[in-house]
A and B are shown apart, each in its own frame.
Chain A
């Protein structure tokens, strides 16, 4: 279980990182290494070069704006958890970060790495989609921005193009009274979820979003979720078409986790 040979580069800027990726099509970015590391050791990923983006200043920036916060892609789960970065929500981000894996993983793992890894059962993709986050990308042909639900194309699949990196993620500001409900069913602490659901109810802004993760493919995203919040059974059809109702117990699992997430809107709406 040792990685195959690779070269290692540590570019100083986003432009250098993109250039390094363009120069060598078999190169791959690495940030915290918490998803890529195991793949390297199992020799499932065999990049010629690792382009380390974790310390690039542009990816470590945090920009607070009136309408939200833009986080550099290399901000770690631990930095969210510890509240060392500003939070445009009433404490949701720290709470989510706290529930990711173990502290050792959170110390290194980054939000950008998590989004690019695009595991449907991971925490950031589901929760940030529920919060209406947008991804900032930089590549050989410039920069662009995508809504997270458009960036995440399916299990372990994203809209990232060759030579492109995620530079940041923008999380819109919630109103003070916004409520967030989040539930995941995991076999143990820090394990990937077997079912998960995140719900945002921001009445002041008129935003109600519900996202179901731990799917086989793309997340189930409900952008106008007021109706399903009142009657979650309306989601049954979408669960079925996503292959999550294959057997009765799986359907009941997802239903339960969805209803727990909706119930949690009330019990867990206060800042952590």
Chain B
């Protein structure tokens, strides 16, 4: 895949760029530093760790989606090893409040209390020397439940007679988010084209390679509870945990060791983390929990479930006149900390119009509370759903108008001369040429040739289809945006610690966390860009609250922009201090020296960072007594000039072959033209895009967590929950446009989630294009063989009868 063809790309480098970084700074595709350990199997994940005296936890989980707990029977010999909510005296529920008016707060007890609200909710924690023994002990515990009607379908759950998930609420609604911009039903009624569609995206499980896991251990020498946990957001977990346990934040340290993917699943405070931390304090023994695949599938990591009813109004030439949408998000039983149950709903309302000029827009989104695991923001968050919904609509408009969908997109996309552009929902697109991404994708996929092939037909009777999708990805959005969304965590200024060590090598410390994003490499490249230091001489320390400055963590496609900017700021500030000492050693005025290649260079010679550091730390007698006391260790902050986020964007184009009778879909070709601004490391960006695209293909064709009418999850192993594997991945071809963001340090934009956004739309449109001649149109992801062949059979049998 690394050999995928790449078209031309424009790299705009900052002026600071100079020869001496030897292609290792910003923009260089250097190999990943972390791979030396990860590819050799020498990473250190929670599963690899074991503390002396450690106990392992297993959770007795609710078999019912909705039930009252009447009694819990724990045999006497399990005393001190099995714990219920009643034992956790003083521990507070997990609360994700939002500032949004009307939002209903759900209290999530770390162990179920009184009621269970989804199948898989933890009810009893059992500790033993090994997980297997803990699972044996669980079998000795009995729970009496009184089953209640389960809300398994969000559209049913909002009806007046639905059973209440939270008894004290008047209905099962977390929040209704809405907007109305210039929407005049009267005027739009006269629109020549009017298409209405229902679109549904299935519930998914996020499925990082490594599941969730943690070990809590009380560290007596620092009087701190250390929580080693597989997280993307150590500082946030620290605050949330302190709140639940009633401790000061200073009494807790959170450390993320190697983390094998997160995708949002590891961006939360988990009930199991609270339980393990509490038990470690109570028993004064390390307590470990490692989520297994079954727990992952049934008991928590759910995302993506949206339902839309949309009407698009357009002119005969495909120009969009207005969009009217009613959406529902199945947010599950509880509001997760810190993202809340409403981030998805808020994003639906504000992101649905996507990258289009839309004169009129109305949207009402209900975040529904149901008897399913809480919805968690997954790579792309609501944007995958809205992109699917919007892009299927664009194709539906094109079909109705008798136009090529690519032309309809072209007609409505925001144009470069409109930049910087403010969308109908107030999104400030930074820079870029959206139509160009589509033009290039059209060319790369060979639009005309595919159309000719379609005309000719396939020898094996399969039907070929071509589909497009264009989207934009707001990333690294800051204070103003998140304050508006009202979630309990509002990101502000990002910090980085930079420290020159006594031998002249560099430590940069960031509070974000790299769990596959290659930040140990890209952040070292940023340091190289600023200080000219070899990335191999830079240690990127991350994921440990004791060693890093505060950060909300890695999420929202923010780290390249925010941590990248912070590393640059810290290195610049450190550079000033290095120069001050270097100038003294060179007997030159500070203004006359510069930093180049990890050296301070003066008019008559240079000193290395090593010499500077050695002098400062180990031979201070060689410095004047009145030298400035600020040393070679500092923390600096950063935020972009405009904090409403970067807007990367891409056009995806897909060619599929559909076997109409079996419903099998083969991806024949897939191209992506992406604008991520200046790429810190293009190879890493391609990796992010490939990985995201694989997940998007999962959403499009494979992944689905279904529930029966009792709220029982129907896919409890990977035999039922299908993830795309190597065999399902096409050789994706990527091209880059690099329009620098005017607002970020190097012109970089957030791209981490993008790959996962468009595939369901592009593939869905391609499948519908293939089936067009049969009068078949699907509008539900995943488009499984069963759904495809059922739709085809219905059309064919209908035509026969």
Residues of A at under 8 Å CB distance from B? 1-5, 38, 42-43, 102, 185, 187-192, 194-195, 247-249, 252-253, 255-257
Contact = CB atoms under 8 A, between A and B. Distances in A.
Contact of B136 (A5, A187, A188, A192): A5
Contact of A189 (B294, B727, B793): B727
Given A188-B702, A188-B722, A1 B661 contact: no
A2 B292 CA distance: 9
Given A187-B722, A189-B725, A256-B659, A248 B793 contact: yes
Contact of B789 (A2, A3, A192, A252): A252
Contacts of A253: 661-663, 785, 789
Given A1-B292, A38-B719, A249-B794, 16 more contacts: A1-B294, A38-B717, A43-B135, A185-B664, A188-B722, A189-B728, A194-B785, A195-B662, A248-B797, A249-B663, A249-B786, A252-B793, A253-B661, A253-B789, A256-B661, A257-B662
A-B complex: 4 closest residue pairs judged by Cβ atoms: A189-B727, A249-B793, A256-B661, A2-B132
Nearest to A259: B661
A256 B662 contact: yes
A187 B715 CA distance: 15
Given A188-B727, A190-B725, A2 B131 contact: yes
Interface in B636-695: 659, 661-664
Contacts of B792: 249, 252
B724 interface: yes
Contacts of A43: 135
A187 B717 contact: no
Interface string B282-313: 00000000001111000000000000000000
A185 B662 contact: yes
Contacts of A195: 662
A194 B789 CA distance: 12
A81 to B, nearest CB: 16
Q: Which of A2, A4, A247 has the most CB of B within 10 A?
A: A2
Nearest to A188: B728
Contacts, number: 72
A227 B659 CA distance: 26
A257 to B, nearest CB: 7
B790 interface: yes
A192 B720 CA distance: 10
A195 B785 CA distance: 11
B614 to A, nearest CB: 52
Nearest to B797: A248
A236 B100 CA distance: 60
Contacts of A255: 661
Contact of B702 (A1, A187, A247, A248): A187
Given A195-B662, A249-B789, A249-B790, A1 B293 contact: yes
A43 B136 CA distance: 10
B661 A42 contact: no
A249 B787 CA distance: 9
B784 interface: yes
A247 B663 CA distance: 15
A3 B727 contact: no
Contact of A191 (B722, B786, B793): B722
B623 to A, nearest CB: 61
A215 B500 CA distance: 68
B727 A190 contact: yes
A42 B662 contact: no
A252 B661 contact: yes
B136 A4 contact: yes
Contacts of A42: 294, 716-717
A2 B659 CA distance: 40
Nearest to A38: B717
Contacts of A5: 136
A216 to B, nearest CB: 16
B702 to A, nearest CB: 7
Contact of B132 (A3, A102, A256): A3
Contacts of A192: 719
A245 to B, nearest CB: 11
Interface in B5-30: none
Nearest to A249: B793
A249 B797 CA distance: 9
Contacts of B132: 2-3
Nearest to A194: B785
B785 A187 contact: yes
Nearest to B295: A1
Contacts of B725: 102, 188-190
Interface string B501-516: 0000000000000000
A249 B659 CA distance: 13
Contacts of A188: 702, 722, 724-725, 727-728
B139 to A, nearest CB: 8
Contacts of A102: 725
Interface in B604-651: none
Q: Which of B662, B719, B725, B792 has the most CB of A within 10 A?
A: B662
A102 B728 CA distance: 13
Given A42-B717, A188-B722, A248 B294 contact: no
18 contacts: A1-B294, A4-B136, A42-B294, A42-B716, A42-B717, A43-B135, A188-B727, A188-B728, A189-B725, A248-B796, A249-B663, A249-B794, A252-B793, A252-B796, A253-B661, A253-B663, A255-B661, A256-B661
Contacts of A3: 132
A189 to B, nearest CB: 3
A195 B786 CA distance: 11
Contacts of A185: 662, 664, 785
A192 to B, nearest CB: 7
A209 B662 CA distance: 23
A252 B792 CA distance: 10
Nearest to B132: A2
A74 to B, nearest CB: 24
A246 B790 CA distance: 12
Interface string B764-801: 00000000000000000000111001101110110000
Contacts of B785: 185, 187, 194, 253
A191 B663 CA distance: 15
A102 B135 CA distance: 30
A1 to B, nearest CB: 4
A27 B581 CA distance: 76
Contacts of B722: 187-188, 191
Contacts of B784: 187
Nearest to A187: B722
A270 B131 CA distance: 51
Contacts of B790: 247, 249
Contacts of B794: 248-249
Nearest to A255: B661
A187 B131 CA distance: 33
A185 B562 CA distance: 47
B129 to A, nearest CB: 13
Interface string B710-747: 00000011010010110110000000000000000000
Nearest to B793: A249
A122 to B, nearest CB: 12
Nearest to B134: A2
A255 to B, nearest CB: 7
Contacts of A256: 659, 661-662
Nearest to A263: B460
Interface string B524-558: 00000000000000000000000000000000000
Contacts of B664: 185
Interface in B354-370: none
B459 to A, nearest CB: 11
